[in-house]
Amino acid sequence: MLDIPTVQRAAPSKAGLVDPFGRHVTYLRVSVTDRCDFRCVYCMAEDMQFLPKRDLLTLEELDRISSAFVERGVKRLRLTGGEPLVRRNLMQLVRRLSRHLESGALQELTLTTNGSQLAKFADELADCGVRRINVSLDTMDPERFRRITRRGDFATVMDGIRAAQAAGIRIKLNAVALKGVNEDELSEMVRWSHGQGMDLTLIETMPLGEIDEDRTDRYLPLSVVRERLSREFTLSDLPERTGGPARYVSVTETGGKLGFITPMTHNFCEGCNRVRLTCTGTLFMCLGQEDAADLRSVMRSSESDEALHRAIDAAIARKPKGHDFVIDRTTSRPSVSRHMSVTGG
């Protein structure tokens, strides 16, 4: 197996990245592929047209851009997709990026996965310093799981979760709350996940990309979900803030932690500390806006990273205050045309 070569490049500045609103950008989400082995109904169309493989950044280029951000003060790096573990030779990239953990420049290297390939890679991920991951799981019912994902196998995902836990990796489950689909089992998911030593975060569906149904049919405000859960559990707000979108509560009856990501009912942008890099080298400063910066062409134009750092600075200077997500019957088109799998989940 070939290793990605390490290339030493000098940056023009070690200054941290601060946006126009004084928010320090310390978290980079990197999509390594737009491909996925699932076709979740709320995420993408069943007949998706994926990018030609030639358009994707190479593993070396993903390493180069990610490392430039680490040099500028990014402390958390998350690999996403699509499904990141379907990217060929991805573990070469993970192993290369782990050098930033060893140096202390990076505090966390992690990923978000659907769990389908997790049993294969759990031990190697742990060996590379990955200490926790997010697994997307919207139901505990195998038949319902098949319907939501259109092709996923629930037992395979469960095997992956168990393999990751056996390797010492801590897991947080992410579940999209879907009206008329899984709303009847969310309380049971709280009990089960906490009983297995995993935190759970619930997410409102977001208007990203055209899918095969009207999102208003599936949109379930988490304010409604929280009120329902409060009839069964004692929920106490936690003060912790990660700079991310989740707001957390403790659940007295289970002893676990429950997160709520509410892009629709509560704008979570005031503390945003993150940007997103797509698998084609496009940097989105906000998930819910179309403005972006092309880092691929800048990077490929020079072996030095000076121009790359200037492009990153210019992009961060345009980071907006917040997104403009809307879901209602009068707004039939998605707020953002690209699918989540293109931006990075």
Residue numbering of the annotated binding site:
29, 36, 40, 42-43, 78, 82, 112, 136, 172, 206, 269, 272, 274-276, 286
> Whose CA is closest to 123, among 101, 95, 102?
95
Q: How many CB atoms lie within 10 A of CB 5?
A: 8
Give how far Cα 90 sits from Cα of 93, 124, 211, Å. 5, 11, 28
Known binding residues for [4Fe-4S] cluster: 36, 40, 43, 269, 272, 286
Q: Which residues are 336's β-sheet partners?
A: 208
Produce one character per residue of 140-154: b if its CB has 16 or more CB atoms within 10 Å, e if not: beeebbeebbeebbb
Residue 71 CB-half CA count within 13 A: 19
Known binding residues for S-adenosyl-L-methionine: 42, 82, 136, 206
Residue 139 CB-half CA count within 13 A: 20
Q: Side chain identity at 277, as an amino acid letter?
A: L
Known binding residues for GTP: 29, 78, 112, 172, 274-276
Compute the distance between CA of residue 150 and CA of residue 227 in angstroms, rounded to an integer. 30
Provide φ and ψ at 246, rounded to 5°. -80, 145
